[in-house]
Amino acid sequence: MTEDPVRDRRARYDRASRIGQRAGYACYVLAVIAFFIGFGTDYSTPLVALTVGGLVVGSVLLLPAIIVGYAVKAAEREDRERGD
C-alpha cells in the first residue's frame, strides 16, 4: 500500500499550523499576563518589553499558522466533495 504524498504533506502542514497557533496564542497569554502585572504595579521596562514582545511574536506566529490551517481545511473539504 502506497502513501499519498499530497496527504502526507498536508498532514505536516496541519501539524505545523496547530503548533504555530498554540505558540502564538501562548505568546498572547504571556503578553496579557505581563500587562496586568504591570497594571497592578508599575510598568517596568522588562514588563513593557514582555508585553510588546509577546504581542509581536504572537502576531508573527499566528498569521501564517491561521492561513495555512484554513488552506488545509479547504483542501480536505474539496477532497471530500470530489469523493477522493
Q: What is the mean pLDDT of residues 46-68?
A: 96
| pLDDT at 1 > cutoff 60 | no
53 assigned to some structural domain: yes
Number of folded domains that form the chain: 1
Domain that holds residue 36: 7-74
- Helix and strand totals (H; E) in the chain: 2, 0
Count of other CB atoms within 10 angstroms of residue 51: 21
Residue 60 lies in a domain: yes
In a domain, 79, yes or no: no
- Is pLDDT of 3 > 90? no
Query: Is residue 2 situated within a structural domain?
Result: no
Q: Tell me if 15 is assigned to some domain.
A: yes
CA-wise closest residue to 28 among 63, 49, 56, 47: 56
Residue 62 belongs to some domain of the structure = yes
Residues 6 or more apart whose CB falls under 8 angstroms from that of 28 comprise 54, 55, 58, 62
Q: What is the mean pLDDT of residues 15-20?
A: 97
The C-alpha atoms of residue 70 and residue 68 are separated, in whole angstroms, by: 5
Q: Is residue 83 part of a domain?
A: no
Q: Is residue 80 part of a domain?
A: no
Q: Is the pLDDT of residue 35 over 90?
A: yes
